Structure 1
Amino acid sequence: MIRIKGVTKSYPLAGMARHTVIRDLTLEIPSRTHVGIIGRNGTGKTTLLRLLGGIELPDRGTVEADGSISPPLGLTSGFAQKISGRDNAKFICRISGDDPATARERVAFIRDYAELGEFFDLPVETYSSGMRARLAFSISMSFDYDYYLIDELTAVGDQKFRAKAQASFAQKRGTASVLMVSHNLDQLQRDCQVGLYLRGGQVKYYEDIGQAIADYKMDQHAQ
């Protein structure tokens, strides 16, 4: 269970003004459940993932979890651009506390899963967005988290990679939670069970992802 208690997050604008993205949010997210997160651009979907992953701190309120949470993984993942995919993977293993043997095994898994070929040993700055997505997703799958935060990650890449990602999600079902931001509503309907709909600084929880999607579509047609 992830418990969000009275969380508000804002960002400074010009002068003394601030833009509030999430306001007074209190919410419980169940464990071992795949969660689809939807909302228009700018409503705070990525901000919510960054708060859950501890990348950013709220202005006020707390986020508590009963298990380990991955960093948010997406196209903007913070890779060191000048070094190779392999060296990025090694660095993440090192800061995660892997001993040398574990790190070697994990890097081998990442190399095989990502299927980057010779690019695994080339600088990340030479990668396409799909290749960065493969590397980020592969690193995530190499660790056993209780909660995986995915930000528009599986919307890119070829059909084979997407099929592999879906198979990984299926393996995690029942043992871990996936919290997924995506504009691909068909993907959310297929891969998720419950929904979070962000609108106007608020987040509404749905027991059925299908109802969350239906309400989102209705709001889009009404505007």
Structure 2
Amino acid sequence: MIEFENVSKTYHIRKFEKHVFADLNFKIHKGESLGICGANGAGKSTLMRMIAGVEYPTKGKVHRSMTTSWPIGYASCFYHNLTGADNARFISRLYNHSEQAVLDYVEDFAQLGAYLYQPVGTYSAGMVARLAFGISLAIDFECYLVDEITGAGDERFRIRCEEALLHRRDNATLIMISHDPGTLRQYCRRGAVVYGGSLVFYDTIDEANEVHHRLQRLAS
């Protein structure tokens, strides 16, 4: 379970304060698939980083009883001077996984061929995305986070990504952020909307999408 207890988040930027969330209280249980809607700048990615534990709340506490991934497909953590294989080995050590098992999975899933053993700095954007997906999915978590990205590369690779995420949705907890209602509907059963510093939950993703788009029409 992931529990937010009286969580608030404020950024202090020079003499300016940005209040993102105020007194969030909610629980996400094991096995749920949750889609989160919200406008640009509403705080969706901040929320995801707090769920992952890579960013701390200003006030309150976040409790986790599930192992939680970084956002699937996140590529900014790579060392560009290292090869894709060396990055995979490094991350496997951080999470106490077999280096060879992770490398074998990445080699099969990402299908980078000889480029897996070349510096990441030589990769195209699509190749970096393939590597990021492969490493993200090679580590077993009880809760997977997906921030906007659900596929990269050609049609065959996108299908592999979809199948892998659906398998994790059916066997673990999945929390997803996307602006695409169809994507959220494909992967998520329950929905939530970020708006005005709050997070409101709905029984279905369709209801959450409807509320989100209604709020956007009112704002415009």
Check whether TM > 0.5. yes
Matched, 1:58 2:54: no
3-state SS of the aligned residue for 2:55?
Answer: coil
- 1:184 to 1:155, Cα distance in 2 relative to 1, 3 A: farther
CA RMSD of aligned residues (A): 1.6
Query: Residues 129 and 182 of structure 1: is their aligned pair in 2 closer, same or farther, counting only changes over 3 Å?
Result: farther
Cα displacement string for residues 51-87 of structure 1 (whole angstroms, at most 9, x for unaligned residues): 0111011111111122111122344531112211111
Q: Give the whole-Å Cα distance in 1 for the aligned partners of 2:128 and 2:178.
A: 17
Secondary structure in 2 matching 1:70: strand
Q: Normalising by structure 2, what TM-score?
A: 0.92
Q: Any conservation in 2 of the 1:10–1:22 contact (CA below 8 Å)?
A: yes
- Aligned-partner Cα distance in 2 for 1:76–1:45: 18
**Partner SS for 1:42:** coil
Q: Percent sequence identity over matched residues? A: 36
**Which one of the candidate residues 178, 198, 204 is aligned to 1:202?**
198
How far apart are 1:130 and its partner, in Å? 2.8
Q: 1:14 and 2:10 equivalent? A: no
Residue 183 (structure 1) aligned to one of 175, 179, 183: 179
* Structure 1 unaligned blocks of 5 or more: none
Q: Structure 2 stretches of 5 or more lacking a match? A: none
Distance in 2 (alpha carbons) for counterparts of 1:63 and 1:32 = 19
Contact 1:155/1:184, CA 8 A, preserved across alignment: no
Structure 2 CA distance, aligned partners of 1:169 and 1:155? 10
Partners of 2:37 and 2:132 in 1: how far apart? 21
Q: What letter corresponds to residue 146 of structure 2 in structure 1? A: I
Looking at structure 2, the residues matched to 157 and 151 of structure 1 have their Cα atoms a distance apart, in angstroms, of: 17
Aligned residues: 219
State the secondary structure of the residue aligned to 2:62: strand
After superposition, the C-alpha distances for 1:17-51 in whole angstroms (9 at most, x for unaligned) are 31111211111112212111111111111111110
Residue 26 of structure 2 aligns to a residue in which SS?
A: strand
